[in-house]
Chain A
Amino acid sequence: MTEVSPTGAVPLVEMRDVSIAFGGIKAVDGVSIDLHAGEVVGLLGHNGAGKSTLIKILSGAYAADHGEIRVNGEPVHIASPRDAKRCGIETIYQTLALADNVDAAANIFLGREKLTAWGTLDDHAMEAEARAVMGRLNPHFRRFKEPVKALSGGQRQSVAIARAIHFDARVLIMDEPTAALGPAETRQVGELVKQLKQEGIGIFLISHDIHDVFDLADRIHVMKNGKLVGTAKVSEVTQDEVLGMIILGKCPPGAIPGPGAMT
Chain B
Amino acid sequence: MAEPSTLLSPAPRSEAPREPPAAAAGRSSLGDTLRALELDTRLVGMIGALAIIWIGFDVLTGGAFLTPRNLWNLSVQAASVGVMATGMVLVIVTRNIDLSVGSILGFTGMMVGVLQSRFLPELWGFDHPLTWVVAVAAGIAVGGAVGALQGAIIAYLGVSSFIVTLGGLLVWRGAAWWVTTGQTVAPMDGLFKRLGGGFEGAIGAGPSWLIGVAAIVLAVAALLLTRRRRAGFGFPVRPVWAEAVVILLVAAAIVGSVLVVNAYPLPLPVVRRMVEAQGLSTDGPLPLIAHGFAIPVLIALAVGVAVTFLASRTRFGRYVFAIGGNPEAAELSGINTRRVLVMVFGLMGALCGLSACIATARLNAATNANGTLDELYVIAAAIIGGTSLAGGVGTIHGAMLGALVMQSLQSGMVLLGVDAPMQNIVVGIVLVAAVYIDTLYRKGVK
Please measure, in the bound complex, the distance between the C-alpha atom of A143 and the C-alpha atom of B12, giving whole angstroms.
10
A115 x B321 contact (CB < 8 A): no
A110 x B2 contact (CB < 8 A): no
Task: Report 11 cross-chain contacts, Cβ distance below 8 Å, ordered by A residue.
Answer: A60-B334, A61-B332, A81-B334, A97-B326, A97-B328, A99-B329, A106-B322, A124-B235, A128-B233, A131-B2, A142-B11
Chain A proximity of B386: nearest CB distance (Å): 13
List the A residue with the shortest CB-CB distance to B38: A145
List the B residue with the shortest CB-CB distance to A118: B313
CB-CB under 8 A for A99 and B233, given A110-B329, A111-B335, A132-B1: no
Q: Which B residues touch A125, using CB under 8 A? A: 233
B8 x A85 contact (CB < 8 A): no
Given pairs A102-B318, A121-B317, A135-B6, 18 additional interface contacts (CB within 8 A) = A96-B329, A98-B326, A101-B393, A102-B325, A106-B318, A110-B335, A112-B334, A113-B318, A120-B313, A120-B314, A124-B229, A124-B233, A124-B235, A127-B235, A128-B1, A135-B2, A142-B11, A150-B446
Q: Which A residues touch B11, using CB under 8 A? A: 142-143
Q: Which B residues touch A113, using CB under 8 A? A: 315, 318
List the B residue with the shortest CB-CB distance to A151: B15
B329 x A97 contact (CB < 8 A): yes
Please measure, in the bound complex, the distance between the C-alpha atom of A128 and the C-alpha atom of B326, giving whole angstroms.
24
Please measure, in the bound complex, the distance between the C-alpha atom of A110 and the C-alpha atom of B320, giving whole angstroms.
11
A100 x B392 contact (CB < 8 A): yes
Among B12, B335, B446, max chain A CB count under 10 A is at B335
B233 x A101 contact (CB < 8 A): no
Q: Any chain B CB within 8 A of the CB of A26?
A: no
Please measure, in the bound complex, the distance between the C-alpha atom of A142 and the C-alpha atom of B324, giving whole angstroms.
25
CB-CB under 8 A for A101 and B321, given A132-B2, A135-B2: yes
Q: Any chain A CB within 8 A of the CB of B331?
A: yes
Q: Which A residues touch B254, using CB under 8 A? A: none
Interface string of B1-37 (1 = CB under 8 A from A): 1110011100110010000000000000000000000
Interface string of A68-102 (1 = CB under 8 A from B): 00000000000011100100000101011111111
Please measure, in the bound complex, the distance between the C-alpha atom of A106 and the C-alpha atom of B333, giving whole angstroms.
11
Q: Any chain A CB within 8 A of the CB of B230?
A: yes
A131 x B7 contact (CB < 8 A): yes
A100 x B235 contact (CB < 8 A): no
Question: Which residue of A100, A106, A119, A143 contacts B15 across the interface (Cβ within 8 Å)?
Answer: A143
B2 x A91 contact (CB < 8 A): no
B315 x A115 contact (CB < 8 A): yes
Please measure, in the bound complex, the distance between the C-alpha atom of A136 and the C-alpha atom of B3, giving whole angstroms.
10
Q: Which A residues touch B216, using CB under 8 A? A: none
Q: Any chain B CB within 8 A of the CB of A59?
A: yes
Among A100, A101, A120, max chain B CB count under 10 A is at A101
Q: Which B residues touch A95, using CB under 8 A? A: 328
Please measure, in the bound complex, the distance between the C-alpha atom of A127 and the C-alpha atom of B232, giving whole angstroms.
12
List the A residue with the shortest CB-CB distance to B8: A131
Q: Which A residues touch B6, using CB under 8 A? A: 135, 139
Among B7, B11, B230, max chain A CB count under 10 A is at B7
Please measure, in the bound complex, the distance between the C-alpha atom of A111 and the C-alpha atom of B312, giving whole angstroms.
15
Which residues, 296 to 344 on B, are CB-close (under 8 Å) to A? 309, 312-315, 317-318, 321-322, 324-326, 328-335
Chain B proximity of A134: nearest CB distance (Å): 8
A82 x B334 contact (CB < 8 A): yes
List the A residue with the shortest CB-CB distance to B1: A132
List the B residue with the shortest CB-CB distance to A147: B325
Q: Which A residues touch B313, using CB under 8 A? A: 120-121
Chain A proximity of B237: nearest CB distance (Å): 11
Chain A proximity of B320: nearest CB distance (Å): 11
Please measure, in the bound complex, the distance between the C-alpha atom of A98 and the C-alpha atom of B317, giving whole angstroms.
17
B330 x A80 contact (CB < 8 A): no
A81 x B332 contact (CB < 8 A): yes
Chain B proximity of A36: nearest CB distance (Å): 25
Which residues, 16 to 63 on A, are CB-close (under 8 Å) to B? 59-61
Chain B proximity of A65: nearest CB distance (Å): 20
List the A residue with the shortest CB-CB distance to B14: A142
Chain A proximity of B200: nearest CB distance (Å): 37
Q: Which B residues touch A98, using CB under 8 A? A: 326, 329
A121 x B318 contact (CB < 8 A): yes
Chain A proximity of B5: nearest CB distance (Å): 11
Question: Which residue of B1, B312, B322, B446 contacts A99 across the interface (Cβ within 8 Å)?
Answer: B322
List the A residue with the shortest CB-CB distance to B316: A121
A136 x B235 contact (CB < 8 A): no
Question: Which residue of A82, A99, A120, A127 contacts B325 across the interface (Cβ within 8 Å)?
Answer: A99
Q: Which A residues touch B317, using CB under 8 A? A: 121
Which residues, 432 to 446 on B, are CB-close (under 8 Å) to A? 446
Please measure, in the bound complex, the distance between the C-alpha atom of A102 and the C-alpha atom of B322, giving whole angstroms.
7
Please measure, in the bound complex, the distance between the C-alpha atom of A97 and the C-alpha atom of B323, giving whole angstroms.
11
Q: Which B residues touch A85, using CB under 8 A? A: 334
Question: Which residue of A91, A132, A142 contacts B12 across the interface (Cβ within 8 Å)?
Answer: A142
Among A95, A111, A143, max chain B CB count under 10 A is at A111
Q: Which B residues touch A128, using CB under 8 A? A: 1, 233, 235
A80 x B334 contact (CB < 8 A): yes
List the B residue with the shortest CB-CB distance to A91: B332
A135 x B7 contact (CB < 8 A): yes
